[in-house]
Amino acid sequence: MVVVPVGDEDVVLRPPPPLERGVDTTAAVRDASRFPLSGPALSELATRGGRATIVVEPPALPLPGVALDPRRDALAATIDELVRSGVPDHRQTVLVASGLGRRLGRRELERLLAPPRARAFRGRVLVHDAADPALVPLAESEDGEILVNPALVETDLVVSVSAAETILHGGPATLLGVSDAPTIRRSAGADSLLRPAGAAEWARAVSIESATAARVPLLGISLVLDHPRISGRFRSYPHDERSFEHVLHSPLRRLYSALPGGVRRAALRDQARQLATAAVYAGPPSVAHAEALLRGVELRGARLAEPVDALVAGVPWIGPHVPREPLNPVTAAAVPLGLALRLWRGGFPVRRGGTLVLVHSLVRSFAQGADDPYRTMFAALQRADDHALTRAEEDAATDARALATYRAGRSCHPLLPYADWAGCRPALARLGRVIVAGSRDAAAARAFGFVPSHSLASALEMAHGVAGGRARVGVLLAPPYAPLLVGA
């Protein structure tokens, strides 16, 4: 638990309160599929007695997630609507768009639906393999041929079911998540995750959508999710200002902070959280997703009148990918830089040349041991040579041993660490300095070009010095990170 001192001119970027009551996810999906924003309804697209592929993605966002995620109710409702439209469930395929992440195992797949529905489902469940030699050509792009999972085109109907979190999470990006590894890797460096206009990554996902729709009927279902809400005595945290005083003076805070790290993480992981659906839209995936994303940003966004001189960002206890793993140095940097500082509209939240204070120990700990792809990437990064990093990525893309480990579900794709680091570059290009407050591994911080600091107080002193006096500090509450509406 980190307490950040703030002055009168400093800004606490607090998201608005969650909804008092969300919509019924099942009913909203049913209504949206029957009355889409554009194009035919699901019943008109389905072929009676035909086949259908439902593309879903692992619930990586919001971070952290919840045990009872509304997306599984949306998937169940979609299965029921297909049955009602004449496609029995044994003719349905659930295709998990895992992208470059570690392929989901049986335990994670069972969570895609509620237990009774999972036992009753008689269709197929496939987990995408980005290195599968059986991927089929879909379209040509400037960077080469785009390959996709055969289940995406060898069917009579494709339905994508996702939550509109960013331009790379949900909507047409769900279809991008069932393409080949080089195509996914090239789609990692978007400047802002909330601005589809002008983003090459969004254009690539839309091109996959268009190529898919040219072959088979296609419908997208996009959910607008509210902020996760903590259950119990801290239910109003952090949306109510009085909740800060409640947490600050709680006798549990000091006790919690004195516990070993593993016990603290287990307590946070077991903390009950709720997540409501605010709305559901259907139509072509890009259309439904754009509308849902706009609604979600306005619903959950924190407003910032102008960029701050320095931003303090905490880092959660788990990584940004599903299945969840403990943080390593690369993902500890990717969460605030590649996620939090790319959730903006209107302008970057930190003035050019400003400072990010990253609150994390940033120790070298890798979940998969010596063969962890993140360890290999981090070793190349330590050489402080862009050419070495490029060569390491080229070697990783063809590393037979690493690819075999990925295909067996024991690690992520070897290109994922490089995609995570590419997501950090837009923010790093704008920042003047990244200070790691609470650093316990100075060498690891310096490998990224960051400045290690033993405490938050000393990190803030450095931030004031960079600003040439008293820096205007913003405090980004985390997790989950709120969209930042700058200048609004």
> Residue 1, Cα to own-chain centre: how many angstroms?
23
- 221 lies in the same domain as 236: no
Question: Exposure pattern of 348-381 as b/e (b: 16+ CB <10 Å)?
Answer: bbbbeebbbbbbbbbeebbbbeeebbbbbbbebb
- 36 lies in the same domain as 174: yes
Q: Which of 395, 16, 485 is nearest to 238 (CA)?
A: 16
User: Judging by beta carbons within 10 Å of its beta carbon (0-12, 13-18, 19+), is residue 24 exposed, middle or buried?
Assistant: middle
The label of the residue with tokens 């902070």 reads 257
Residue 279 lies in a domain: no
- 346 lies in the same domain as 254: no
- 12 lies in the same domain as 52: no
Is residue 55 helix, strand or coil?
strand
CB 426 within 8 A of CB 442: no
What are residue 473's DSSP bridge partners? 310
Domain that holds residue 256: 232-271
- 388 lies in the same domain as 266: no
pLDDT of the chain along its 488 residues, tens only?
Answer: 677 888 889 999 988 888 888 999 999 999 999 999 999 999 999 999 999 999 999 999 998 888 889 999 999 999 999 999 999 999 999 999 999 999 998 888 988 999 999 999 999 999 999 999 999 999 988 888 999 999 999 999 999 999 999 999 999 999 999 999 999 999 998 999 999 988 999 999 999 999 999 999 999 999 999 988 877 666 777 777 777 777 777 777 777 777 777 777 666 666 678 899 999 999 999 999 999 999 999 999 999 999 999 999 989 888 899 998 889 999 999 999 999 999 999 999 999 999 999 999 998 888 877 679 999 999 998 876 778 899 999 999 999 999 999 999 999 999 999 999 999 999 999 999 999 999 999 999 999 999 999 999 999 999 999 998 899 999 998 778 999 999 85
CB 478 within 8 A of CB 340: yes
Is residue 155 helix, strand or coil?
coil
- 103 lies in the same domain as 139: yes
Structural tokens at position 194: 């909330």
425/429 Cα distance (integer angstroms): 6
Residue 176 lies in a domain: yes
Q: In the chain, count of helices (H) and strands (E)?
A: 19, 19
- Distances, alpha carbon 483 to alpha carbons 68, 301, 321, in Å: 23, 5, 19
Residue 184 lies in a domain: yes
CB 111 within 8 A of CB 65: no
- 336 lies in the same domain as 427: yes
Start-to-end C-alpha separation, the chain: 30
Which CATH number characterizes residue 126's domain?
Answer: 3.40.50.11440
Residue 286 lies in a domain: no
CB 45 within 8 A of CB 221: no
- The enclosing H or E element of 447 equals helix 442-447
202/188 Cα distance (integer angstroms): 10
Residue 65 lies in a domain: yes
| Sign of the torsion formed by the C-alpha atoms of 312, 318, 319 and 321 | negative
Residue 389 lies in a domain: yes
CB 335 within 8 A of CB 320: yes
- 248 lies in the same domain as 169: no
User: Judging by beta carbons within 10 Å of its beta carbon (0-12, 13-18, 19+), is residue 256 exposed, middle or buried?
Assistant: middle
- 40 lies in the same domain as 1: no
Is residue 273 helix, strand or coil?
strand
300/188 Cα distance (integer angstroms): 24
Residue 368 lies in a domain: yes
DSSP 369-384: GGG-HHHHHHHHHTTT
Point out the domain boundary residue: 171, 201, 225. 225
- 11 lies in the same domain as 47: no
136/138 Cα distance (integer angstroms): 6
447/445 Cα distance (integer angstroms): 5
Point out the domain boundary residue: 162, 191, 225. 225
pLDDT of residue 238: 72
φ, ψ of residue 230 to 5 degrees: the values are -70, 140
Which CATH number characterizes residue 314's domain?
Answer: 3.90.226.30
Question: Residue 89: left if φ>0, alpha if ψ -120 to 50, beta else—which one?
Answer: alpha
Structural tokens at position 487: 């200048």
DSSP 390-434: HHHHHHHHT-HHHHHHHHTTSS--TTHHHHHHHHHHHHHHH-SEE
Residue 287 lies in a domain: no
What are residue 225's DSSP bridge partners? 277
pLDDT of residue 271: 67
Give the chain's domain count. 3
Point out the domain boundary residue: 225, 258, 283. 225
- 43 lies in the same domain as 181: yes
- 44 lies in the same domain as 174: yes
pLDDT of residue 7: 85
- Distances, alpha carbon 253 to alpha carbons 150, 281, 438, in Å: 51, 41, 18
φ, ψ of residue 293 to 5 degrees: the values are -65, -45
The label of the residue with tokens 């509450």 reads 477
- Distances, alpha carbon 267 to alpha carbons 62, 260, 365, 370, 411, in Å: 19, 11, 20, 28, 26
Q: State pTM to two decimals.
A: 0.92
